[in-house]
Amino acid sequence: MKGLVSVVTAILQDRASRTNLKSLLRLLAVLLGLVVLFSVLFHLLMIREGQEHSWITGVYWTLTVMSTLGFGDITFQSDLGRLFSIVVLVTGVIYLLVLLPFTFIQFFYAPWMRAQAAARAPRELPSSWRQHVILTNYDAVASALIPMLENYGHPYIVLCPTPAEALALDERGVKSAVGDLDDPDTYRKMRIDRAAMLVSTRGDMVNANVTFTARELAPRLPIVASADSDASQDVLELAGATLVLRLEKMMGQALARRISLRDSDAHVIGKLGGLHIAEAAAAGTALVGQTLRHSQIRSKTGVNVIGIWNHGRLEFASPDLAITEHTLFVLAGTKQQLDSFNTTFTTNAETKPRVLVIGGGRVGRATYRALKERDACCISIIERNPERVRGIPEAIVGDATQMDVLKLASAREATSLIITTHDDDTNVALTIFFRRLRSTFHILARSTLDRNVPTLLRAGADLVLSYASMGSNTVLNVLRGSDHLLLAEGVNIFPATIPPSMAGRLLSELDVRAQTGCSIIAVEAGGERVDNPPPDYRLPPAGRIFLIGDIAAEERFLKIFKPDLSPSKRWRSAGRRSQSN
């Protein structure tokens, strides 16, 4: 009885269930009316045939016929009575086809399905959850971040405002929960006091509400939120965001840095204490045409050449590497060493090259501004929507595939193209078009999703930067702490205790780079740190080393040298902001 009362109470509390209950009552009322009508007609027809039956018998006959159970010994003898029997039978069949499925689906099957859905999309996390990451949106950044979190052992949950959204993610294998994003109780149920981070990448106003609500509940929790404008960034910072993601600025600066502008200055892309990680183009310098061994970059400046960018991926730089106009170095050194590099290797360009930016959206405009700040090239930007490029004197309004538009943009004189539209399919088509138009173009493209990076490279792009990877790398930097630094395109700086197999040995003897793809960029022991140690440096018996390489190289290092990476040593407080630029 108590169970029946609880079911009825649950039905009455749910608006959809109340509506279905009203529909069911109306159907039952119609059914009762039909039974009464058919029972009365049964009596009239039976009297007409000379048969008399009780009213109970009439109801019995009506229900027997309507439910298709059979007539038994009560039958009509006339054609009119048999026609009436057919009408009752057909009415019962049709009505049962409506009433029984409706009742079963709405009051048995649908509640069961809702219960199953609720189990798959919980509204509260178990009390055992700790050091998890709460995401408020499953977008391109989240799709790239989640595999990284799983790789580094962090549980995650995507918080959805509706069950439908949560179930859609569950069907894709993404862990999700349901809750109102502006409700403090939602975050209590998500165990925010034990979480490692909150990442909000919805609209600016929603992100501000989420940040403010979560900050009141967890004053020390790292909160990363995205913003589309300077005003929204200010609001988010006032609301308590640890880091505000301006991915369009980051993407624009990264694309501008990777253009061969015959500008050899090293541009810093990350810092680890006093150690700077930088990029530098060989174009326009005396380095072009030499091998890395004969360039003597390290002996002249103290800068360590970690590797080179090849189609957006970090590759090991062997001593026999031939330096070309398109070589882009990844360097490690102190500020003084990088200043020495900039002084030693100067450009010999006499004229500024021309760069063509395709797309005047947020990324395109950020790329334009970054190139203008460097003042090392002539720029044209092509955009279909005149409102987006209002106030940009070098803007050309039109379709970038039209020859008259390209002529206005002086595309014939351009050496480099940067394709920045937000649609990956459009970027692929534009890459194919410009690669067929001129094979010598240096083409850089922006990709929103990681999966489209190989497609853009096959289409002819020389370098592709992923919007998703850039955002996920930045978030992971904040999570891992200041001792870890994950740069764009998966370049990872990480600490490790000096394993016994490496203690007391020379770096040149260990040959870590050849074995793993990692480079040792700093050594810390006895409260002192040696940045960019030379090949003849002997490792101390105890301390820490800092290495740089992609994630696969990090895994190879851990497998070959087996340093002690206990959780307390591997993970730092996630509350400290990354120093990446």
pLDDT at 314 over 80: no
pLDDT at 486 over 90: no
Same domain assignment for residues 170 and 217: yes
Q: Domain boundary at 323, 344, 365, which?
A: 344
141 within a domain of the structure (yes/no): yes
pLDDT at 202 over 90: yes
Per-residue pLDDT, averaged over 172-190, amounts to 92
Same domain assignment for residues 359 and 338: no
- For 172-192, give the secondary structure using H, E and C: CCCCEEECCCCCHHHHHHCCH
281: tokens are: 């183009």
State the Cα–Cα distance between residues 489 and 580, nearest whole angstrom: 13
Q: What is the pLDDT of residue 444?
A: 92
Q: What is the pLDDT of residue 568?
A: 35
Select the more confidently predicted residue: 97 or 237: 237
Alpha helix stretches (DSSP H) within 152-296 = 163-171, 184-189, 204-217, 230-239, 247-257, 292-295
Q: What's the number of domains the chain is made of? A: 5
Same domain assignment for residues 429 and 455: yes
State the Cα–Cα distance between residues 219 and 131, nearest whole angstrom: 15
Q: What percent of the chain clears pLDDT 90, i.e. is strictly above it?
A: 32
Same domain assignment for residues 106 and 204: no
pLDDT at 12 over 60: no
Per-residue pLDDT, averaged over 182-193, amounts to 94
Per-residue pLDDT, averaged over 457-479, amounts to 87
State the Cα–Cα distance between residues 517 and 512, nearest whole angstrom: 7
Q: What is the pLDDT of residue 6?
A: 47
Same domain assignment for residues 161 and 237: yes
Going by pLDDT thresholds of 50, 70 and 90, the confidence category of residue 118 is: low
Q: Domain boundary at 295, 319, 344, which?
A: 344
Mean pLDDT (the chain) is 82
Per-residue pLDDT, averaged over 276-288, amounts to 82
Tell me the residue range of the domain where 512 lies: 481-570
Going by pLDDT thresholds of 50, 70 and 90, the confidence category of residue 72 is: low
Q: Domain boundary at 120, 149, 182, which?
A: 120
Q: In what order do the strands lie in the sheet with 485-486?
A: 485-486, 491-497, 544-550, 519-525, 528-531
CATH number of domain containing 287: 3.30.70.1450
pLDDT at 495 over 50: yes
State the Cα–Cα distance between residues 175 and 146, nearest whole angstrom: 10
Same domain assignment for residues 337 and 429: no
Same domain assignment for residues 436 and 532: no
Q: What percent of the chain clears pLDDT 70, i.e. is strictly above it?
A: 85
540 within a domain of the structure (yes/no): yes
CATH number of domain containing 380: 3.40.50.720
Q: What is the pLDDT of residue 265?
A: 73
396: tokens are: 């050309």
pLDDT at 209 over 90: yes
How many Cβ atoms are within 10 Å of 346's Cβ, its own excluded? 13
pLDDT at 567 over 60: no
pLDDT at 162 over 50: yes
Going by pLDDT thresholds of 50, 70 and 90, the confidence category of residue 348 is: low
Going by pLDDT thresholds of 50, 70 and 90, the confidence category of residue 578 is: very low
**Using one digit for the tens of pLDDT, what is the confidence trace for 359-397?**
999 999 999 999 998 787 889 999 999 999 998 998 999
State the Cα–Cα distance between residues 220 and 242, nearest whole angstrom: 9
7 within a domain of the structure (yes/no): yes
Same domain assignment for residues 87 and 28: yes
Going by pLDDT thresholds of 50, 70 and 90, the confidence category of residue 355 is: very high
Same domain assignment for residues 139 and 233: yes
Same domain assignment for residues 204 and 137: yes
How many helical (H) and strand (E) elements, i.e. helices and strands, does the chain have? 23, 22
pLDDT at 133 over 70: yes
CATH number of domain containing 8: 1.10.287.70
Per-residue pLDDT, averaged over 276-296, amounts to 85
pLDDT at 248 over 80: yes
Select the more confidently predicted residue: 158 or 22: 158
